[in-house]
Amino acid sequence: MSLDQFADPIMVVVAHPDDIEAHCAGTIIQLLEQGKRVGYVLATSGNCGTSDPAMSAERLGGLRESEQRAAAEIVGVRDLTFLRYEDGDLTFHVPELRADLTRLIRQYRPRTVITHDPYPGNGSLDSCAIYPDHTTLGLTVFQAAYLRAPSPLCEPKQLREGLPLHKLDMLMLIMSGAPDVFVDIEAVFDRRIQALRQYKTQGRDRPEVDAFFRRIARQLGEHADYTLAEGFRRLAPT
């Protein structure tokens, strides 16, 4: 069963509020139903994601964090970390970001990390996949998870503080053009949409949201004979 490929504990690391609900919340709902532990890390609070000239970045960041908390409540996740990097700017903060992610991985000790595909390819179902925040974060998580967290020579200050080295089992990549793990989400699709509807600042409460995400889930489902699915690309340790 595809859910068995997500060893627990599971850390979900994404660039913006709503990335999880748009791509993998149906899987997370079912992992929680199996009693698995799941925590979220948000690299930015999406504080530039508006076309409203009257909105401030500070207010938007706060609103989107509230929306993320409400969506996580519907999914059943209580462990949320907001790193609050500037939205759209992750490419320019890789050294700090990889140190933060290495620390979180050493603290949380996940066996699976779900994050963005750094090389989503032309076949991606979502043009947002090549947004630099997504690809940069995917690559930085890869570096933190597989190269830095297990190395005694990387971020040694964290080790002197008492954090242990850690190597996880598997990265599971969302927004990939080459998914190879498919999770049946038909039974929880409505709950995923309910979580997505919390993002009013992003227009996710509009009626057409259901049809848009249903179409993507149906396309992913065709790979595995499911009606509605989410898809991931497995990336094994180096």
Taking the complex as a whole, the smallest distance from the CB of residue 116 to Zn ion amounts, in Å, to: 8
Establish if 16 lies at the interface with Zn ion (CB under 5 A): yes
100 binds Zn ion (CB under 5 A): no
Q: Does 20 bind Zn ion (CB under 5 A)?
A: no
Distance in Å, CB of 128 to Zn ion, minimum: 6
C-beta nearest to Zn ion: residue: 16
- Residue 216 has what DSSP assignment? H
Classify residue 217 as exposed, middle or buried by CB count within 10 Å of its CB (0-12, 13-18, 19+). Answer: buried
Considering only 10, 19, 213, 217, the residue that binds Zn ion (CB under 5 A) is 19
**With contact defined as beta carbons under 8 Å apart, do 135 and 177 qualify?**
no
The neighbour count for residue 86, using CB atoms within 10 Å, is 16
Alpha helices per DSSP H over the chain: 19-23, 25-33, 57-75, 94-108, 132-142, 156-160, 189-196, 208-221
CB of 187 to Zn ion, least distance (A): 26
Q: Which stretch binds Zn ion (CB under 5 A): 9-17, 73-81, 143-151, 226-234?
A: 9-17
Q: Does 98 participate in binding Zn ion (rule CB under 5 A)?
A: no
For residue 141, give every residue at least 6 positions away whose Cβ sits within 8 Å of its Cβ, in sequence order, or none: 13, 101, 113, 115, 116, 171
Q: What does the block give as tokens for 227?
A: 């009606």
Which one, 32 or 48, has the nearer CB to Zn ion? Answer: 48
Q: Can you tell me the distance from the alpha carbon of 73 to that of 77, in angstroms, rounded to the nearest whole number?
A: 6
For Zn ion (CB under 5 A), the number of binding residues is: 3
Taking contact as CB under 5 A, which single stretch among the options 18-26, 57-65, 186-194, 218-226 is the one that binds Zn ion? Answer: 18-26
Binding region for Zn ion (CB under 5 A) out of 19-27, 96-104, 119-127, 159-167? 19-27
Distance CA(137)–CA(116), nearest Å, equals 7
Residue 65 binds Zn ion (CB under 5 A): no
Residues within the interface to Zn ion (CB under 5 A)? 15-16, 19
